[in-house]
Amino acid sequence: MPPKALVFDAYGTLFDVRSVLSRCEEVFPGQGQEITTLWRIKQLEYSWLRSLMGRYEDFWRLTEDGLRWACRAVGLSPTEAQLEQVLQSYLTISPFPDTLPALAKLTKLGLPLAILSNGSPAMLEAAVTNAALTGTIAHVISVDEVKIFKPHPSVYALAPARLGLAKEEIAFVSSNGWDAAGAKAFGFEVYWINRMAAPIEELSSPPNAVIASLLELAELLS
């Protein structure tokens, strides 16, 4: 059965979290790479830990907290102005090179395209506008509605509710293996864009397909 909507993860899937590296390197010369890596790890860890602790704060706050931690971990004591300068780069985060061409092809399928993301509404709006995706993405859905992060099932449940579809009618697309596993456990059809050729996670039944890029997805579904 062909899907009736495509729902995309945002960070790591449509937007390249490594694209904040150049700003980070500009503000913290010679340490941008290390900070960016630790920052992303901590941002995700905090999303899982705060969800389990029942202490939700939005993803913008977690992104800031992760950056603070990463700076401390490499021995820096940044000023508030430096932190702010680096943080702002998340609002103009770059899409992957294949994001726009793949979405242009997928639009021709005539299905609604949506985002379902950990990002706060303001972060997502900024990123979508900056990437000129406003007309392409029909629904931008943030976990902020349920105040808990992926992979909690109530997050994935936002998509069928908003789209007015059964979960089995939705194809979910993520580059994060753990997100693909969470979405599969919830009951979506799942496409894992395994950009980094990572080993599959031991968390749920495997995704419906593992592919290398969004362009391959467009070819597969066209």
Residue ranges that bind a second copy, judged by CB under 8 A: 45-46, 48-55, 65-66, 68-69, 72-73, 148-153, 178, 181-182, 185, 198-204
Question: Which CB, 8 or 46, lies closer to a second copy?
Answer: 46
Tell me the backbone φ, ψ of residue 114, rounded to 5 degrees.
Answer: -135, 160
Nearest residue to 207 via CA among 182, 179, 184: 184
Rounded (10°) CA dihedral 162, 100, 110, 136:
50
- Output DSSP code: residue 191: E
Question: Which CB, 15 or 186, lies closer to a second copy?
Answer: 186
Q: Would you call 9 a catalytic residue per the annotation?
A: yes
To the nearest whole angstrom, how small is the minimum distance from the Cβ of residue 180 to a second copy?
Answer: 12
Residues 6 or more apart whose CB falls under 8 angstroms from that of 181 comprise: 151, 201, 203, 204, 207
Q: What CA–CA distance (Å, rounded) separates 196 from 172?
A: 18
Nearest residue to 71 via CA among 83, 81, 63, 60: 83
To the nearest whole angstrom, how small is the minimum distance from the Cβ of residue 116 to a second copy?
Answer: 15
To the nearest whole angstrom, how small is the minimum distance from the Cβ of residue 181 to a second copy?
Answer: 7
Question: Which CB, 45 or 84, lies closer to a second copy?
Answer: 45
Question: Which CB, 1 or 53, lies closer to a second copy?
Answer: 53
Active-site pick, 9, 16, 58, 98: 9
Task: List residues with catalytic annotation.
Answer: 9
